[in-house]
Structure 1
Amino acid sequence: MALVSPILLNSSFISLTDFGKNIKPGRPSLLVRRIDSPIRCLASKNVSERKSANYQPNIWDYNFLQSLKHDYADIRYADSSMKLQEEVRRMIIDESVDIWTTLELIDDVKRLGISYHFEKEITKVLDRFLSLERCNVKSAHINLHEAALSFRLLREYGYEVSAGIIV
């Protein structure tokens, strides 16, 4: 079944009586008719400007940024930050706390993005954890979460451990 388009039925292209003539089944045929009217085309002479070149100057220049007040650059905030860092440092290296609690703390510190302050302490704790594992001083209640946490932390800090060392 052929689809009839309004463009095909337009009298300037083909007449309706010529539409069905000379069509033989099994062979495609092209209907050709000469159009005597000239084809008109319009060209736009307006040149559009580049949108990327029409930007407004940025108000965030160097002098403007330097003029902004830094609320947290005060000495009392720096002192408070140092006190909190020391408190976290003591919590990380405290050997009286269960090793799994310390590994959870290291994971939390890492997720907060402040682990770069405590690299030495974290390395000491992971060394202690590995020495406990190698001496077969394992917790009797190790679960999948603890195994995955210790494996991931050891791998993230560059320790060459296999998956079987933890389980």
Structure 2
Amino acid sequence: MENHPPPAAPISIENANFEDVRRSVTYHPSIWGDYFLTHTSNIMELSANEAEEFQKLREEVRDLLIKTPDDSLHKVELIDEIQRLGVAYHFENEIDISLKSIYDTYSECNGKEDNDLHMVALRFRLIRQQGHNLSSGKWELSALETLPPYMKLCYQALLDVYDETEDEMNNLETSYRLYYAKEEMKKLVRAYFEEAKWVYNNYIPTMEEYMSVALVSGAYMMLSTTSLVGMGSLVTRETFEWVTNEPLIVRASSVICRLMDDMVGHGFEKKSTAMDCYMKQNGATKEKAFGEFHKQVNKAWKDINEEFLHPEAMPIPVLMRVLNLARVINLLYTDEDGYGNCKTKLKEFIETVLVDPIII
């Protein structure tokens, strides 16, 4: 028997209790004003001598990257350590060139007698992480040809189409970026309104109904779009058309956001979650629902990894914006609600970044 919602009743908040109208969670007080913002004076500022020393160290690392042979264990371990320390953005070009060279000679390098499993596995991971497609079964170069270099995107393409002056071109670029961002925000507002109707009518939707709305209300589709606005000439109108058409990587990131949020929020949030919808529709226990959603989250991570193996559609910096959104949710919602509860691990993470930072 199909589960149709009852007729929508008019929503009125006149004479209503504010908390009943909001139907929201009572979160912990914000820790920003009480703690972090009062510690801003502790954030380190570099003196001229320190800045000069940091520049010297950067050049030493850059020189080391260039001079270390690509087929050596030292080279792949050096790249791995630089990435893990969070300073790879200083050496993007050198790392990209090195990993491209390692990829081109992958079979030859793996055939060396002095290779151990550690070196082969590390080389394999770094190359895959960079977006090059390698066989995961036999630790050898796949049959695919080397992926083409990144597309060189520039304003000239749009200039040719619209025949505008440089100033007019800048105005046009700003207009279409804002247009796509606003369109995504409109979708978000409509999704919030739909969820509000479910709450006021005490309606628990089917999983299909819920996910069609909740993937939007999770805001990751909107954030994937707005995160591209300030990326400069790397991002074109085609980039925004791509992201707003919900490509696989964006949808996968949204699935991770929604399901991880709903799992840690089950029994705490005062609205229907994916847990409630799945349990009602399938007559399932909470444990079974958790198991199913963990499978879907794992599948979404595999989809994201797959998108990085075929980066012809979009440059890796664009894909990284979407990946990093998924990483944030994984950090905040693994085992607990680190976003809604300020007393969890999130406070320690922010303190490490803002109060006691390591200058990199």
- TM interval, shorter chain, is 0.5 to 0.7
Q: Give deviations 1:78-123, integer Å, cap 9, x for gaps.
A: 1111111111111111155752210010011111111111111011
- The question of 1:86 aligning with 2:59 is answered yes
Q: Quick one: which of 69, 87, 90 aligns to 1:114?
A: 87
**Any gaps of 5 or more consecutive residues in structure 2?**
1-25, 142-360
Q: 1:146 to 1:52 in 2, by over 3 A?
A: closer
Q: Which amino acid aligns with 1:114?
A: V
Q: Which amino acid aligns with 2:89?
A: Y
Contact 2:120 2:139 in 1 (8 A): no
In structure 2, the residue matched to 1:161 is 134
| Corresponding pairs, count | 114
In structure 1, the residue matched to 2:33 is 58
Q: How far does residue 138 in structure 1 lie from its aligned partner after superposition?
A: 3.6
Question: Which consecutive segments of 4 or more residues in structure 1 shift more than 4 A?
Answer: 51-55, 59-62, 95-98, 134-137
In structure 2, the residue matched to 1:103 is 76
Q: How far does residue 73 in structure 1 lie from its aligned partner after superposition?
A: 2.0
Q: Which amino acid aligns with 2:33?
A: N
Q: 1:59 to 1:94 in 2, by over 3 A?
A: same
Q: Quick one: which of 115, 131, 135 aligns to 1:142?
A: 115
User: What CA distance in whole angstroms lies between the structure 2 residues aligned with 1:133 and 1:61?
Assistant: 47
Q: 1:53 to 1:152 in 2, by over 3 A?
A: closer
After the TM superposition, which of the residue ranges 68-77 and 81-90 deviates more from structure 2?
68-77
Q: 1:161 to 1:137 in 2, by over 3 A?
A: closer
Q: Give deviations 1:35-76, integer Å, cap 9, x for gaps.
A: xxxxxxxxxxxxxxxx97999x935697x667x265432111
User: What CA distance in whole angstroms lies between the structure 1 residues aligned with 2:29 and 2:84?
Assistant: 42
Contact 1:109 1:115 in 2 (8 A): yes
RMSD between superposed Cα atoms in Å:
3.4
Q: 1:52 to 1:102 in 2, by over 3 A?
A: closer
Q: Give deviations 1:120-140, integer Å, cap 9, x for gaps.
A: 101111122122235578422
User: What CA distance in whole angstroms lies between the structure 1 residues aligned with 2:29 and 2:69?
Assistant: 65
Q: Which amino acid aligns with 1:58?
A: G
Question: Higher relative contact order by CA 8 Å / sep ≥ 6: 1 or 2?
Answer: 2
Contact 1:151 1:161 in 2 (8 A): yes
**Any gaps of 5 or more consecutive residues in structure 1?**
1-50
User: What CA distance in whole angstroms lies between the structure 2 residues aligned with 1:76 and 1:87?
Assistant: 17
User: What CA distance in whole angstroms lies between the structure 2 residues aligned with 1:54 and 1:97?
Assistant: 51
User: What CA distance in whole angstroms lies between the structure 1 residues aligned with 2:58 and 2:72?
Assistant: 20
User: What CA distance in whole angstroms lies between the structure 1 residues aligned with 2:29 and 2:109?
Assistant: 69
In structure 2, the residue matched to 1:123 is 96
User: What CA distance in whole angstroms lies between the structure 1 residues aligned with 2:119 and 2:135?
Assistant: 15
Contact 2:110 2:140 in 1 (8 A): no
Q: 1:83 to 1:145 in 2, by over 3 A?
A: same
User: What CA distance in whole angstroms lies between the structure 1 residues aligned with 2:60 and 2:28?
Assistant: 53
Larger Rg: 1
TM-score, length-normalised on structure 1? Answer: 0.55
